[in-house]
Structures are given as C-alpha cells and as structure tokens.
C-alpha cells in the first residue's frame, strides 16, 4: 500500500459572480483547511465554465474575479497553490484518459447533468455531459485525498472514486490513484435561494434578490435579507421546530456559518424572536463579514496584472506536481513516451 500525502484539491467555476453559497459552502472552508496538515490546491476551473456558453471577454474577468474572491477571503498564494485550470494542460489530457475509463451509464446517473440539461439534453454540449470525468481528472492529477465541496458536488466526488478504482483495477495499478474523500461539513453545505427555500442559491438564478453576491455592498445585503422570504412564525425554541420551514432554516444556517457557531446555538440565542429582530441582526453580521472581502476583491480587480502573476506562479507549481503523475499514467496505459 502506498500512503498518499494528505492533499486537498477543490475548484470553482468562473461562470457569473461568486455567491454567499460559494463563500460559505466552499471558499470559507478552503481557507480553514489551509495551514493544517494538508497541502492545499485551489483552482479556478475555467475549462468547466465553458461547458455552457461564456462570452470570451467576460470569461477572462470572471476568472480573475474568482481568483480575487479566493485571495480576498484568505487563500494565501504562499501557503496554497492557486491557479486557473486551463494553464495546466494535463487536466484536459487526463480528462481524456478518464473519458475512456468512465462508462456512459455512470454519466447518465449524474443528477446535475439531468438538472442542467433538462428537456434540452440533445442540444447541450458534449462537454457538459463529460464534465464529471474532467472533474475527476482535476482531483486525481494531484493524487488529492480530500475534496471540500458543497452538498451538490457529492455525487461527482463519488464518481471520481469510481473512476480511480476502475483505473487502478483495469490497469492493475495498485492504489496509484487514491480514493479521495468528499469533505462536506458545517451548517452551510447547501445555502438556499432567499426567495424559495427549496432551491439552491446559485449564480444563475433569474432574480438578483434570490442571492447574496460576494461583491454586494452593505445596502444591498441588508435589503436582500430584509426582503428574504420567511414564514409568519417566530424562531422556535429548538432546532426541531425548524422542520418543514426551509426558508427559516436557511437563514439560521447562514447565521450559524457566518458567526462560526452551531445552528443550535443560534436558536438558543434567538428563541422566540420575530423576523423583525433576527433579519437585521443577520444583515449586520453578513455585512461585517463580507464587506472587508468585497472591498479587497474590488481593490484586486483594479490590478489584473497582480492576479495574473499569482495565477502564473500557481500554474507552474501545479504543473510541477501534475506532470510526473500524468506521465506515469500514460506509461501505465501503454502510451509510448519517446521524447
């Protein structure tokens, strides 16, 4: 048995702006894992973004904005590797190998594809369908062992494990590719839409009032929380009392995650409180936590060269880990390497 070094990999697509869901479900947790026992690698996954149409000029800004979001939230390029996917060509190369390992039947079970393609499945790009095998390549190219993600990505990380095991088995490669663990922890692994607590908060929802963007100013944040859908009941005495109250539960979870306490602790502080008291407290807390980040993002976005230099350095470091693993994979597969 080889023991793989504890290594974290995760990524975010530069498609539209970053939301509070991305922050609490992903970036904040990436920051927490930095400087622990893991080597941490974080990626702006631009090749994933283009599985649906992206305006080329907008994509470049969106890529820098996600990078700025990482840095402003506390990802330190001297402690973590931070880069954009397309600058390390090995992602696409290993992605092809995995297209030949993964089975069509596995892809057909991916719920995110079904949701995104909807009734339009014949018209979406082939890339959108193959997306999970590129995601497996992102992770396995670094022999990553831990993958922090939001709840919606659980199935893709499980597929990554299936691809790793089929590769190891078919090519009699021992445990060359590790079976990575999805890390889905904390109260905010699925932040919901502010206008409909049964839907996930996403970058692409139709109304801006459904989501908090990481670039929203204090007034916008306050307004969005004030107008967030709730029910007429006050906050209950126990967490059980939030059952079947998805909007209320969501706001409590957001509060818990922002203040780094459990949802139980929030409930015990606010038991019996009405929304007129809870919502302004939540808005103040969100502004206190997010305003410094959005200010730093705005500062960085005025210096795209600074961001590009960080991504260039990160890409070199990522490439140095990825290349030997890709070359070894080619060798295992039986591809001649004569230069």
Write each residue from 42 to 61 as x if it is in contact with ligand TRP (CB under 6 A), else as -, in one continuous string: ---x--x-------------
Of 163, 162, 152, 161, nearest in space to 111 by CA: 152
Is residue 187 a contact point for ligand AMP (CB under 6 A)?
A: no
Interface of this chain with ligand AMP, residues 115 to 134, rule: CB under 6 A: none
Between 45 and 191, name the residue whose CB sits nearer to ligand TRP: 45
Fill in the DSSP letter of residue 237: S
CB of 199 to ligand TRP, least distance (A): 16
State whether residue 83 is helix, strand or coil: strand
- Where does this chain touch ligand TRP (CB under 6 A) — which range of 145-153, 188-196, 257-265, 285-293? 145-153
Q: What contacts 24+ positions apart, CB below 8 Å, involve 314-319?
A: 314/77, 314/81, 314/82, 314/83, 315/83, 315/84, 315/87, 315/88, 317/81, 317/83, 318/41, 318/43, 318/81, 318/83, 318/87, 318/88, 318/142, 319/87, 319/88, 319/90
**Partner from ligand AMP, ligand TRP, none contacting 141, C-beta within 5 to 8 A by type:** none
**Partner from ligand AMP, ligand TRP, none contacting 191, C-beta within 5 to 8 A by type:** ligand AMP
> Is 200 tagged catalytic?
yes
d(CA 234, CA 185): 27
- Where does this chain touch ligand AMP (CB under 6 A) — which range of 18-26, 35-43, 213-221, 225-233? 18-26
- 165-to-97, 104, 142, 171, 277 alpha-carbon distances in Å: 14, 16, 16, 10, 52
- Where does this chain touch ligand AMP (CB under 6 A) — which range of 117-125, 138-146, 149-157, 265-273? 149-157
Between 129 and 167, name the residue whose CB sits nearer to ligand AMP: 129
Please answer whether residues 181 and 158 qualify as being in contact, where contact means their C-beta atoms are separated by less than 8 angstroms.
no
Is residue 153 a contact point for ligand AMP (CB under 6 A)?
A: yes
Q: Helices 304-333 and 56-73 sit at what angle, rounded to 10 degrees?
A: 100
- Work out the number of other CB atoms within 10 angstroms of the CB of residue 208: 12
Q: Among 7, 13, 161, 249, which residue sits at the site for ligand AMP (rule: CB under 6 A)?
A: 13
Is residue 85 a contact point for ligand AMP (CB under 6 A)?
A: no
DSSP assignment of 10-74 equals: EEE--SS--BHHHIIIIIHHHHHHTTSSSEEEEEE-HHHHTTS---HHHHHHHHHHHHHHHHHHT
> Is 116 tagged catalytic?
yes
Interface of this chain with ligand AMP, residues 281 to 310, rule: CB under 6 A: none
CB of 153 to ligand TRP, least distance (A): 5
Q: Among 68, 75, 101, 201, which residue sits at the site for ligand AMP (rule: CB under 6 A)?
A: 201
Is residue 22 a contact point for ligand AMP (CB under 6 A)?
A: yes
CB of 161 to ligand AMP, least distance (A): 16
**Partner from ligand AMP, ligand TRP, none contacting 263, C-beta within 5 to 8 A by type:** none
Is residue 17 a contact point for ligand AMP (CB under 6 A)?
A: no
Structure tokens at 218: 């204090």
Question: What are residue 8's DSSP bridge partners?
Answer: 40, 146
List contacts with ligand AMP (CB under 6 A).
12-13, 21-22, 25-26, 149-150, 152-153, 189-191, 200-203
Binding site for ligand TRP (CB under 6 A): 9-11, 13, 45, 48, 135, 138-139, 147, 149, 153, 156
- Catalytic residue numbers? 116, 200, 203
């Amino acid at each position: 048995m080889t023991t793989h070094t504890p290594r974290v990999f995760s990524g975010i697509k530069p498609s539209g702006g970053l939301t509070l869901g991305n922050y609490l479900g992903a970036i904040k947790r990436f920051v927490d894992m930095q400087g622990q026992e893991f080597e941490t690698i974080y990626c702006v996954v631009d090749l994933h973004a283009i599985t649906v149409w992206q305006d080329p000029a907008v994509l470049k800004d969106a890529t820098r904005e996600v990078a700025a979001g990482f840095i402003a939230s506390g990802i330190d390029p001297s402690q973590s590797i931070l880069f954009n996917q397309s600058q390390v060509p090995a992602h696409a190369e290993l992605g092809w190998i995995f297209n030949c390992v993964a089975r069509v039947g596995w892809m057909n079970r991916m719920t995110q594809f079904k949701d995104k393609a909807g009734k339009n499945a014949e018209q979406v790009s082939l890339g959108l369908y193959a997306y999970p095998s590129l995601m497996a390549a992102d992770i396995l190219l670094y022999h990553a062992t831990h993958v922090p993600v939001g709840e919606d990505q659980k199935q893709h990380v499980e597929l990554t494990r299936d691809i790793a095991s089929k590769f190891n088995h078919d090519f009699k490669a021992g445990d060359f590719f590790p079976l990575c663990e999805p890390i889905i922890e904390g109260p905010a692994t699925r932040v919901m839409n502010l206008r409909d607590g049964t839907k996930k908060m996403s970058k692409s929802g139709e109304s801006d009032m459904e989501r908090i963007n990481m670039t929203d100013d204090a007034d916008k944040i306050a307004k969005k929380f004030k107008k967030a859908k709730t029910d007429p009941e006050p906050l209950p005495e126990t967490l059980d009392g939030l059952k079947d109250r998805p909007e209320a539960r969501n706001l409590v979870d957001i509060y818990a995650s922002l203040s780094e306490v459990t949802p139980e602790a929030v409930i015990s502080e606010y038991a019996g409180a009405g929304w007129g008291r809870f919502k302004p407290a939540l808005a103040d807390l969100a502004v206190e936590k997010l305003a410094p980040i959005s200010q730093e993002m705005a500062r960085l976005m005025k210096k795209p060269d600074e961001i590009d230099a960080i991504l260039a350095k990160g890409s070199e470091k990522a490439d140095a880990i990825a290349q030997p693993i890709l070359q070894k994979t080619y060798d295992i597969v039986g591809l001649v390497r004569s230069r």
